[in-house]
Amino acid sequence: MDIFLQVWGGVGYLLAKILLSHAEGLSDDRKWRIVGWSAYLIGLPAWVILLVGQQNWIAVAIEAGGAPVLLLGLVMAWKRLDKVHKYYDWGVKGFTYLMIAIGVGYSLYCFGGITTFSQTLEIGVMVGFLLGSYFVAKKNPIGWLLYAVMLLSMGSLMLIKGKPILVGQQAISLIFVIIGFIRSIRRVKTV
């Protein structure tokens, strides 16, 4: 079951990075973004299950809390939006912050504070995933740099936890995150 979850989550997230990175170089990026955000959502349950099994509570909250951000990206692509209604944006931010507070709070409760290196890595994942997804959904290049922080943190966490498939997936994803950042910068310069 563990291998199946690693493949499911890894393929979903890797595919998302490839598709969203490719979308950065296109003038009509809609279909690539739709499929990319959908791949993220498909891979999300596997990550949640794996992280719950490892008691990585901050990372669990990040992944679960990230669902509205991923939906934000999907909706923005589907409706061809550059901006969303401010109340939806506030709702996504509010839910994200709530999940961060719950995840960090529960982790602090379970471990009696920030007492493990894995908790520190989870904080890197939290910042990179939630803010990275938010900024990539809004087509802001900074999101790709935050994704790099997330990948380095999650890759290190998966290495510690003995999940080699996901370590490889994170390493390969980093290549596409760098490509996405470069394309995003080029897109911003031409606009």
pLDDT, mean of each 10-residue run, the chain (191 residues): 91 92 87 93 93 85 83 88 83 83 85 89 86 85 94 94 92 94 87 65
Number of helices (H), then strands (E), belonging to the chain: the values are 8, 0
Q: Is 160 helix (H, G, I), strand (E, B) or coil?
A: helix
pTM over 0.85: no
Secondary structure class of 52 (helix, strand, coil) = helix
Which among 64, 47, 70, 4 has a CA at the least distance from the CA of 170?
Answer: 47
Alpha-helical (H) ranges within 54-116 are 57-78, 86-111
Tell me what pLDDT residue 157 has.
92
pLDDT score at 164 = 93
Q: Which of 160, 182, 158, 177 is nearest to 168 (CA)?
A: 158
What whole-number distance in Å separates Cα of residue 51 and Cα of residue 157?
Answer: 10
Interatomic CA distance for residues 187 and 26, integer angstroms: 9
Going from N- to C-terminal start, the domains of the chain cover 2-190
**pLDDT tens-digit map of 15-61:** 999 999 999 878 888 999 999 999 999 999 999 999 898 888 888 88
C-alpha span between 13 and 103 (Å, rounded): 21
> Measuring CA to CA, how many Å separate 76 from each of 11, 42, 136, 142, 155?
23, 18, 11, 18, 29
Q: Quick one: pLDDT at residue 191?
A: 65
Q: What is the rounded distance in angstroms from the CA atom of residue 136 to the CA atom of residue 21? A: 10
Instruction: Using CA atoms of 27, 24, 135, 91 in order, give the dihedral in degrees to the nearest 10.
Output: 50
Contact 175, 152 (CB under 8 A): no
Rounded Cα–Cα distance for residues 155 and 6 (Å): 12
The CA–CA distances, whole Å, from 62 to 16, 68, 170 equal: 17, 11, 16
pLDDT recorded at residue 34: 94
